[in-house]
């Protein structure tokens, strides 16, 4: 995963100190987003001058003062939108030791899933009420997390992994004010993110402005702890819901619904088929609680809005992709509507009749290249699939065009017998297409964890082991839809996948991480087109 950090500085009437903080951040090469949380005019003018003087500084202004938590989350969202992977939260009052920034970045680079938290080392100028009062919060946080992992939950000097933090913010209402720092770090610890504590000096400069109100904010912090303790107790007594493996989740939709959509497509065209699919999508949305949860989790990890409308759009995009498969196998997709990135390499493989392995995913329309090649007589492409989970849809495609099933090889796992059969096809110059983003249907299938959208997920080892056994060139293939056009992406993954006996697991992990990184990149390009509607990260995925 690429490590691309920036700094986020929430600012409320700190016009006299924020410039020095930002200048020192810029000296460490960090792009900085200053979130003006509805400050008075003098601070707004100071920030405008600062942005003009510092080319790597952007100011995001809130219409009114909404609280530190709201300002930080707004900054994190903007950072993710600009392509950053991590954000270093720094207070604008000058209390934090900016010289320690490299220590935070070093930890974030080596442990990209971790939340890197400042562990304050107080100097003599620190008020005793702050130094000793924090131990009350420490006790509650240690109780809430049932660990001592979080050294200090109140320090606002912290490096966040953006994908995981925004996924949390999209499905949980976090504290908006001063208790935000406590609320977010406890919940990220509940998510299973590692906590790394970096000792750092904290100073209280004379004349510094503090927006901490003793009575009001202590009451809010107490309310936050009450909520966290209640949720912690609920998590203890509530039985963990074990998600079903994707291969055991019943296929959604009925044969009648598919028949209606297929008939609408044949008689009236794609537009009518899309209208006919809408009632089916609404039914799946209304009855598919697990699919809704999974969609919300995935969209949240992308930093996308995870509203009910967005989840519904995600499901409807899947229905449209299914209709596009019908169109492709009926020869209704025009070559003029396709942008094929990597076409020269594909034609070279076809001309040389050289066997190759294409590793795809459940992103976009994997059937597109097989349909085009089969109907055009360009190459023989065999899809290696597990069809039991989508039997009805597979039968519908077979009825739409018998050629669909001619080069469809159904397997339950990638055992020795399957490998021999596939090797024979490669030696005959065929192209095999498999997916790399679903764990094996067999209970004993081997998996490797890789970072995907900010948190580790399980990916199958089978595709990499198969690529090693086949001893052929390996490519990644993705087909995305942009408006009325299709973008086919074929990119070389490896001339050979090599798994040295003594370093086999490490080599597999390396290849799986490469694949997960490319899949993540294309998911960000087309966020609604990844169609794994189940618990991909094997974790609680939020409310219905």
Query: Please, which residues have CB within 8 angstroms of residue 396's CB and are 6 or more apart in sequence?
Result: 258, 259, 262, 326
Q: Is the predicted pLDDT of residue 484 greater than 60, yes or no?
A: yes
Query: Which pLDDT score, from 0 to 100, does residue 387 have?
Result: 47
One domain for residues 186 and 262: no
Angstrom CA distances, 376 to 18, 118, 303, 349, 355, stand at: 63, 61, 40, 15, 18
Long-range (24+ apart) CB contacts under 8 A made by 83-86 are 83/4, 84/4, 84/5, 84/6, 84/31, 84/162, 85/1, 85/2, 85/3, 85/4, 85/5, 85/112, 85/161, 85/162, 85/163, 86/3, 86/4, 86/5, 86/6, 86/112, 86/159, 86/160, 86/161, 86/162
One domain for residues 385 and 290: yes
DSSP, residue by residue, 167-189: HHHHHS----STTHHHHHHHHHH
| Residue whose structure tokens are 């920034």 | 101
User: How would you label 490-512 residue by residue, b for 16+ Cβ within 10 Å and e otherwise?
Assistant: beebbeebebeeeeeeebbbebb
One domain for residues 208 and 270: no
One domain for residues 50 and 152: yes
Does residue 535 form part of some domain? no
The per-residue pLDDT for range 300-340, each reduced to its tens digit, is 888 887 788 999 999 999 888 888 877 776 666 777 788 98
Does residue 222 form part of some domain? yes
Identify the DSSP state of 359. Answer: E
Mean of pLDDT over the chain: 80
Q: Span 235-264, mean pLDDT?
A: 53
Task: Please tell me the least confidently modeled range out of 213-222, 365-374, 424-433.
Answer: 213-222
Does residue 539 form part of some domain? no
Residue 315 CA to residue 58 CA, distance in Å, equals: 36
CATH of the domain at 161: 3.90.550.10
Residue 103 CA to residue 231 CA, distance in Å, equals: 33
Angstrom CA distances, 428 to 382, 410, 466, stand at: 12, 19, 17
Q: Which of 11-15, 408-412, 536-540 has the highest mean pLDDT?
A: 11-15
Task: Please tell me the least confidently modeled range out of 52-56, 70-74, 375-379, 470-474.
Answer: 375-379
Residue 308 CA to residue 295 CA, distance in Å, equals: 10
**What's the distance, Cα to Cα, between the start and end of the chain in Å?**
30
The per-residue pLDDT for range 93-108, each reduced to its tens digit, is 888 899 999 999 999 9
Angstrom CA distances, 462 to 245, 359, 436, 478, 501, stand at: 17, 11, 8, 19, 16
Residue 261 CA to residue 239 CA, distance in Å, equals: 40
Residue 473 CA to residue 356 CA, distance in Å, equals: 5
Single residue among 184, 215, 237 that ends a domain in this structure: 237
* Nearest to 317, CA basis, from 363, 269, 360, 272: 363
Residue 272 CA to residue 282 CA, distance in Å, equals: 16
Identify the DSSP state of 13. Answer: S
Tell me the pLDDT band of 88, cut-offs 50, 70 and 90: very high
One domain for residues 172 and 264: no
Q: Domain limits at 158?
A: 5-237
Q: Is the predicted pLDDT of residue 434 greater than 80, yes or no?
A: yes
Query: Which pLDDT score, from 0 to 100, does residue 108 have?
Result: 92
Q: Span 199-226, mean pLDDT?
A: 69
One domain for residues 408 and 518: yes
One domain for residues 172 and 297: no
Angstrom CA distances, 543 to 172, 292, 295, 495, stand at: 9, 9, 11, 44
Q: What share of the chain is helix, strand, coil (3-state, %, to 5)?
A: 50, 20, 30
One domain for residues 393 and 471: yes
Q: Span 528-535, mean pLDDT?
A: 87
Residue 138 CA to residue 472 CA, distance in Å, equals: 56
Q: How many helices (H) and strands (E) does the chain have?
A: 18, 16
Q: Is the pLDDT higher at 213 or at 12?
A: 12
Does residue 113 form part of some domain? yes
Does residue 543 form part of some domain? no
Which structure tokens are listed for 167?
A: 């996924």
One domain for residues 224 and 254: no
One domain for residues 272 and 323: yes
Phi-psi map region of 13: left, alpha, beta (phi>0 left; psi -120 to 50 alpha): left
Query: Which pLDDT score, from 0 to 100, does residue 246 have?
Result: 40
- H or E element at residue 191: none
Tally of domains within the chain: 2
One domain for residues 141 and 224: yes
Q: Span 112-119, mean pLDDT?
A: 91
One domain for residues 233 and 253: no
Number of residues assigned to the chain: 544
* Nearest to 116, CA basis, from 162, 72, 77: 162
Single residue among 197, 218, 237 that ends a domain in this structure: 237
The per-residue pLDDT for range 497-514, each reduced to its tens digit, is 999 988 999 999 999 999
Task: Please tell me the least confidently modeled range out of 186-195, 242-251, 288-297, 532-541.
Answer: 242-251
Identify the DSSP state of 364. Answer: B
Angstrom CA distances, 389 to 180, 219, 293, stand at: 43, 52, 20
Does residue 145 form part of some domain? yes
Single residue among 193, 217, 237 that ends a domain in this structure: 237
Residue 129 CA to residue 394 CA, distance in Å, equals: 68
Query: Which pLDDT score, from 0 to 100, does residue 253 have?
Result: 45
Using a cut of 0.95, tell me whether the model's pTM lies above it: no
Does residue 173 form part of some domain? yes
Does residue 540 form part of some domain? no
């Amino acid at each position: 995963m690429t490590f691309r950090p920036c700094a986020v500085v929430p600012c409320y009437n700190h016009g006299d100190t924020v410039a020095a903080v930002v200048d020192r951040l810029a000296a460490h090469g960090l792009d900085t987003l200053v979130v003006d949380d509805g400050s008075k005019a003098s601070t707004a003018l100071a920030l405008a001058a600062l942005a003009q003087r510092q080319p790597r500084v952007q100011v995001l202004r809130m219409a009114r003062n909404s609280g530190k938590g709201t300002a930080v989350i707004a900054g994190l969202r903007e950072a993710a939108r600009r392509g950053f992977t991590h954000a270093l939260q720094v207070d604008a009052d000058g209390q934090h030791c900016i010289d320690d920034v490299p220590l935070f970045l070093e930890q974030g680079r080596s442990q990209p899933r971790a939340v890197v938290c400042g562990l304050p080392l107080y100097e003599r100028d620190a008020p005793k009420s702050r130094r000793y009062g924090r131990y009350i919060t420490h006790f509650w946080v240690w109780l809430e997390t049932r660990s001592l992992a979080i050294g200090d939950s109140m320090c606002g000097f912290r490096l966040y992994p953006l994908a995981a933090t925004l996924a949390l913010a999209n499905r949980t209402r976090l504290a908006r004010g001063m208790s935000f720092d406590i609320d977010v770090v406890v919940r990220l610890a509940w998510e299973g993110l590692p906590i790394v504590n970096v000792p750092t000096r904290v100073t209280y400069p004379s004349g510094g402005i503090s927006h901490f109100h003793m009575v009001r904010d202590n009451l809010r912090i107490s309310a936050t702890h009450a909520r966290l303790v209640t949720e912690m107790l609920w998590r203890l007594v509530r039985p963990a819901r074990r998600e079903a493996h994707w291969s055991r989740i019943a296929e959604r939709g009925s044969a009648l619904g598919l028949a209606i959509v297929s008939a609408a497509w044949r008689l009236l065209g794609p537009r009518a088929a899309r209208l006919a699919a809408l009632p089916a999508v609404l039914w799946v949305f209304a009855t598919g609680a697990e699919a809704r949860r999974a969609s919300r989790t995935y969209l949240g990890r992308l930093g996308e809005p995870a509203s009910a409308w967005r989840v519904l759009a995600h499901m409807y995009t899947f229905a449209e992709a299914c209709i596009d498969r019908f169109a492709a196998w009926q020869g209704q997709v025009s070559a003029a509507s396709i942008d094929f990135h990597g076409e020269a390499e594909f034609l070279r493989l076809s001309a040389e009749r050289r066997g190759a392995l294409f590793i795809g995913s459940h992103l976009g329309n994997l059937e597109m290249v097989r349909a085009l090649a089969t109907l055009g007589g360009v190459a023989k492409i065999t899809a290696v699939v597990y069809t039991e989970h989508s039997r009805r849809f597979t039968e519908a495609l077979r009825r739409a065009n018998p050629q669909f099933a001619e080069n469809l090889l159904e397997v339950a796992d990638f055992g020795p017998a399957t490998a021999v059969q596939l090797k024979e096809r490669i030696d005959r110059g065929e192209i095999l297409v498999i997916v790399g983003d679903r764990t094996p249907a067999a209970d004993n299938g081997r998996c490797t964890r890789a970072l995907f959208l900010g948190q580790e997920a399980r990916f199958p080892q089978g595709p990499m082991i198969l690529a090693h056994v086949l001893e052929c060139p390996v490519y990644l293939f993705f087909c995305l839809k942009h408006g009325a056009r299709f973008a086919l992406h074929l990119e070389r993954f490896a001339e050979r996948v090599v798994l040295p006996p003594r370093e086999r697991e490490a080599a597999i992990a390396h290849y799986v991480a490469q694949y997960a990184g490319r899949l993540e990149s294309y998911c960000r390009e087309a966020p609604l087109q990844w169609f794994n509607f189940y618990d991909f990260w094997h974790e609680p995925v939020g409310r219905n």
